[in-house]
Amino acid sequence: MMQYTTQEIKVYGIVQGVGFRPTVSRHAACCGIYGYVCNKGPYVQILAQGDEGAVSDFVAKIEKEPPDRAVILKIDAVPVESSVSYDSFEIVESEKETGEIFIPPDIAICEECKRELYDKTDRRYLHPFINCTCCGPRLTILDSLPYDRERTSMKSFEMCPSCRNEYYDPKSRRYDAQPVCCNECGPRVYLIGRPEHDQAAIRYARQVLHDGGIIAVKGIGGFHLCCDAKNASAVERLRRQKNRPAKPFAVMMRDIETVERECLLTKEQRDILCGHQKPILLLEKRKKSSLSRAIAPGNPKVGVMLPYAPIQLLLFDNQDEVNVSDTLVMTSGNTSGAPICREDADAQAELISLCDMVLSHDRDIRMRADDTVMDMFEGREYMIRRSRGYAPLPQFVQSNGEQHIQVIAMGGELKNSFCVGKGDLFYMSPYIGDMEDIRTVEAHRESAARFLDMLEVKPQAAVCDLHPKYNTTVLAEEYKIPIIRVQHHYAHIVSCMAENNYKDPVIGVSFDGTGYGTDHTIWGGELLLADTCSFKRAGHIASFIQIGGDLSAKEGWRIAVSMLYGLYKDETKTLEAVTALGLCTEADAKILIRMYDRKMNAVTSTSAGRLFDAVSAVLGICSHSTFEGEASTALQFAAEAYEKQVPRGERLRWTEDKAIPASAESSDDSGFALQTDRLFAWIVQMRQTGADASALAFAFHEALSEMIAEACVELRRQTKRNTVALSGGVFQNLLLLKLCRSQLQALDFEVLIHHLIPPNDGGLALGQAVVARNIIQNTK
| pLDDT tens profile 519-574 | 999 999 999 999 999 999 999 999 999 998 888 899 999 999 999 999 999 999 99
The backbone region for 198, taken as left when phi is positive above 0, alpha when psi lies in -120 to 50, beta otherwise, is left
Higher pLDDT, 550 or 263: 263
Give the mean pLDDT of 569-589: 96
Mean pLDDT of the chain: 93
| pLDDT tens profile 645-683 | 999 999 999 988 766 654 444 445 778 999 999 999 999
Report whether pLDDT(14) > 80: no
Give the mean pLDDT of 147-167: 94
| pLDDT tens profile 33-61 | 999 998 876 788 999 999 888 999 999 99
Measured between alpha carbons, how far is residue 571 from residues 144, 540, 611 in Å? 64, 27, 21
Report whether pLDDT(404) > 90: no
| pLDDT tens profile 613-633 | 999 999 999 999 999 999 999
Report whether pLDDT(484) > 70: yes
Q: Chain centroid to CA 550: how far?
A: 24
pLDDT of residue 152: 95
- Spatial distance between the Cα atoms of 271 and 373, rounded to a whole number of angstroms: 15
Contacts of 217 (CB under 8 A, 6+ apart): 205, 223, 224, 226, 311, 312, 315, 333, 358, 359, 360
pLDDT of residue 74: 82
Higher pLDDT, 97 or 138: 138
- Spatial distance between the Cα atoms of 486 and 265, rounded to a whole number of angstroms: 40
Give the mean pLDDT of 632-644: 97
pLDDT of residue 87: 86
pLDDT of residue 658: 67
- Which of 6-20, 97-111, 269-283 is most confident? 269-283
- The counts of H helices and E strands in the chain are 23, 29
pLDDT of residue 2: 56
Phi (first) and psi of residue 390, to 5 degrees: -115, -40
| pLDDT tens profile 302-336 | 999 999 999 999 999 999 999 999 999 999 999 87
pLDDT of residue 1: 39
- Spatial distance between the Cα atoms of 211 and 234, rounded to a whole number of angstroms: 9
pLDDT of residue 549: 83
What is the DSSP pairing of strand 406-409 with strand 425-428?
Answer: unpaired
346-372 burial, b if ≥16 CB within 10 A, otherwise e? Answer: bbeebbeebbbbbbbbebebbbbbbbb
Contacts of 693 (CB under 8 A, 6+ apart): 619, 620, 621, 638, 687
Q: What percent of the chain has pLDDT over 90?
A: 82
pLDDT of residue 464: 98
pLDDT of residue 82: 77
Higher pLDDT, 253 or 454: 253
Higher pLDDT, 15 or 771: 771
Give the mean pLDDT of 68-74: 79
Higher pLDDT, 15 or 238: 238
pLDDT of residue 662: 46
pLDDT of residue 665: 46
Give the mean pLDDT of 420-431: 94
Report whether pLDDT(506) > 90: yes
